[in-house]
Amino acid sequence: MKLLILLVVVLGLVAAVQLSKVYQLSISLRGKREEDISEADNRLNGGLFLAFMVAFYVSFVVLLVKYGSYGTPPASEHGVAVDRLMDFNMAIIFVVFFIVNTLLFWFSAKYYHRADRKARFIAHDNRLELIWTVIPSVVLAIIIAYGLQTWNEMTGEASEDALRVELYSKQFDWTARYPGADGEFGQANYNLITPMNALGIVTEDGVAAALTEIEEKIAKVEEEINYEKGHLLAEWAAIEAELNDDHGHDDHSHDNHGHDDHGHDAHADDHGDGKQALEARMAEIEHMLESDKVNILTEAAFEAKEDKLYRLIRHRQRIQEIRNFDFDGELTAWESGMDDQIVKGEFHLPVGREVEFVFRSRDVIHSAYMPQFRAQMNTVPGVPTRFKMKPTITTDSMRTVLENPEFDYVLLCNKVCGAAHFNMQMKIVIESQEAYDTWLSEQGEFIVKEGSEEPEMEQASAQKESQTITASL
C-alpha cells in the first residue's frame, strides 16, 4: 500500500515536470516571457481581488451574526465595563478595517496595468501624511484614555469588607480556600504539603513532621558520605601514617593531625589520649568497613552527595524558621489556619458582594481564567497574585438568560502547565447570600476542633478523588 502511494507520487511528479516542460516550450515558441503579464491576467487578478474582498466581507458578517456575541454575557461588575470598552474599540477597528481593505482591493482592481497608461508620478504629499498621522493619534489618545480608565477601576484596591478567597493551583486541579470565622487565612508553606494537607497550611504537627522527614533525609545522606569506602580507607591510612610518624619524634610541631573531621586541632591535649583516640578511630573504621552500609562512590558522586547534604541542611533551616512566624500578635500562625475551609470540585460565591481572590501555585505557572466574569490572573509559584471582582448574576439567572438549564460558570487554567492543562477546571456557583452561607457552613474546617467527629477524613477523601480524576484523564 505504502509502495503504491509512493509510486503514484513519483509518477505524478514526473508527469508534472514533463507537462511543465511542454508548456514552457510552447510559450517560448510563441516568444512569450514569464515576466510579461498579459492584460487579461492583470484584469483577472484585479477582479479576483474585488471578488475576494466581497467574499471576505460576507463571511465576516456571517461570522459576526452567528458568533459575534462575546461568549456569555458579562457576569461581573467590571465585566460590563470591559464589554462596553470592547464594543467601543471594536467599532473603531471595524471602521478602519473596512476602509483600508476596501481602498486596498479597490485600487488594486481599478489600476491594473494597461500598456497605454502611465502611472501618476507622485512621491509625497505633506498634507496627506499629516492627516494620517494626526487622525490616528487622536483616535488612539481616546482609546488609551478610555482603556486606562477602565483598567484603573478594575485594578484598584479591594474594599475593606470584600470576601477573600484563595485559589490554589497545581497540576492539574484547583482548590479554593475560605478564611473561616476569623477572616484570616492561615499561613501556608510549601514545605508542609502532604496528601492530608494539600495547601501546606502551617500547623505545629506539620512543621514537626516536615522536620522529622528532612532529618531522616539528612541522616541518610550523612551515612552514605560517612560510609564511603574510598574515603574510609584513606582516612585509615592517614591515621596509621601519623601514628608511625609519632614514634619517631616526640614533638608537637607537625601539623598532620589526621582527618580534620575529627577535631584534632586541640594541640594541647594529652598526647597519650590523642593516640588512644586515633586508635579507637582506626578500630571504628575497620568495623565500619565490614558493615553492609559501606558503599563506593566516584569522586564526582561523592561531591554531589556533599552538595546535597549542604542543601538539605539549608533547607532544614528554612523549615525551622517557619516556627518563628508571628501573626499580628494575636493569633499564632497555626491558630488562624485551623478554621480555614478548603473545597474542591466547585466553589461558591455570593452574588453582589465584592470578592478578592488571592492566588497561589504549587508547581508551575497556571492562570486562573473565568471567561464569564472577564477575569484572569496568573498563579505564580513563590509570588502571590490578586484579582478582585463583583459577581452580578447568579448561576440560576444566567441559566434563564441563556435558556440552558445545564449552564455553569467555570474557572479554567489558561497557562500551559502540562499534559492535562486542557482539563484543569473548577465549577463556580454564584448564588444568593443565604444560599452561600448555608453552603459554606456545610464545608468542614481544616482542623476539626476537639469534640466533633469527622477528623481530616473529608480532606483526605477529596484528595483521593482528585487523584483518581487526574489519573483517569
Partner 1 sequence: MGAQAHHHEESFVSKYVFSHDHKMISKQFLVTAIVMGIVAVMLSVFFRLQLGWPGESFAILETFLGKWAPGGVLDRNAYLALVTIHGTIMVFFVLTGGLSGTFSNLLIPLQIGARDMASGFLNMLSYWFFFFSSVIMILSLFTEGGAASGGWTVYPPLSALPQAMPGSGMGMTLWLISMVLFVVSSLLGGLNYVVTIINLRTKGMSMTRLPLTIWAFMVTAILGVLSFPVLVSAVVLLLMDRTMGTAFYLSDIFIGGEALDVTGGSPILYQHLFWFLGHPEVYIVLLPALGISSEVIATNARKPIFGYKAMVGSLLGIGFLSFIVWGHHMFVTGMNPFLGSVFVFTTLLIAIPSAVKAFNYITTLWQGNIRFTPAMLFSIGLVSTFVTGGLTGIILADSALDVNVHDTYFVVAHFHIVMGMSAIFGMLAGIYHWFPKMFGRMMNTKLGFAHFWVTIVCGYGVFFPMHFVGIAGAPRRYYEYSNFDFLGSVMDLQPLISTFAIVGAIGQLFFLFNFFYSIFYGQKSVQNPWMSNTLEWTTPVRHVHGNWDGPLPEVHRWAYDYSNPVHDADFVPQTTPALSGEEVH
Asked if 427 touches Cu ion (CB under 5 A), the answer is: no
CB of 413 to Cu ion, least distance (A): 3
Coil/strand/helix, residue 50: helix
Interaction of residue 392 with partner 1, rule CB under 8 A = no
What does each C-alpha distance from 459 to 203, 224, 434 come to in angstroms? 15, 37, 25
Residues 473 and 471: their CA atoms lie apart, in Å, by 6
Binding flag, residue 417, partner 1 (CB under 8 A): yes
Of positions 225, 289, 378, 399, contacts partner 1 by CB under 8 A: 378
- Binders in 60-79 for Cu ion, by CB under 5 A: none
Q: Would you say 401 and 393 are in contact if contact means Cβ atoms under 8 Å apart?
A: yes
299 to 328, contacts with partner 1 by CB under 8 A? Answer: 307, 311-312, 314-315, 318
- Alpha carbons 382 and 364: distance in angstroms, whole number: 10
- Tell which one of 7, 16, 219, 280 touches partner 1 (CB under 8 A): 16
Residue placing its CB nearer to partner 1 in the complex, 112 or 178:
112
Strands (E), 276-382: 341-344, 346-350, 355-361, 366-370, 375-379
Using CB under 8 A as the binding rule, whether residue 439 contacts partner 1 is answered as no
Q: Which of residues 93-122 bind partner 1 (CB under 8 A)?
A: 93, 96-97, 100-101, 103-105, 107-108, 111-114, 117-122
401's contact among Cu ion, partner 1, none, with CB below 5 to 8 A by partner kind, is none
82 binds partner 1 per the rule CB under 8 A = yes
Shortest Å distance, C-beta 170 to Cu ion: 10
**Is residue 190 a contact point for partner 1 (CB under 8 A)?**
yes
Phi, psi angle pair for 217, to nearest 5° = -65, -45
Subset of 363-382 contacting Cu ion (CB under 5 A)? 366
Tell me the site size for Cu ion, rule CB under 5 A. 5
Task: For 263-296, give the DSSP string.
Answer: -TT-TTS-HHHHHHHHHHHHHHHHHHHHSTT-B-
- Of the candidates 337, 315, 313, which has an alpha carbon nearest to the alpha carbon of residue 325? 337
Q: Tell me, residue by residue from 136 to 165, as one string, x for binding to partner 1 by CB under 8 A and - for no binding.
A: xx--x--xx--xx-xxx-xx----------
How many angstroms separate the CA atoms of 458 and 447, rounded?
A: 11
Question: How far is it, in rounded angstroms, from Cα 135 to Cα 119?
Answer: 28
Binding status of residue 8 toward partner 1 by CB under 8 A:
no
420 binds partner 1 (CB under 8 A): yes
For Cu ion, the binding residue among 113, 259, 323, 421 (CB under 5 A) is 421
Q: Residue from 374, 394, 426, 430 that binds partner 1 (CB under 8 A)?
A: 374
**For residues 327-366, which are near Cu ion according to CB under 5 A?**
366
Closest CA to 168 of 349, 380, 340, 464: 380
* Nearest-angstrom CA–CA distance, 338 and 201: 9
- Report yes or no: 373 and 354 within 8 Å, Cβ to Cβ: no
145 binds, among partner 1, Cu ion, none (CB under 5 to 8 A by kind): none
Which CB, 17 or 296, lies closer to partner 1?
A: 17
Would you state the torsion angle of the CA atoms of residues 352, 358, 362, 363, taken in this order, to the nearest 10 degrees?
90
Report the residue from 3, 22, 40, 123 that binds partner 1 according to the rule CB under 8 A: 123
Chain residues binding Cu ion by CB under 5 A are: 366, 413, 417, 421, 424
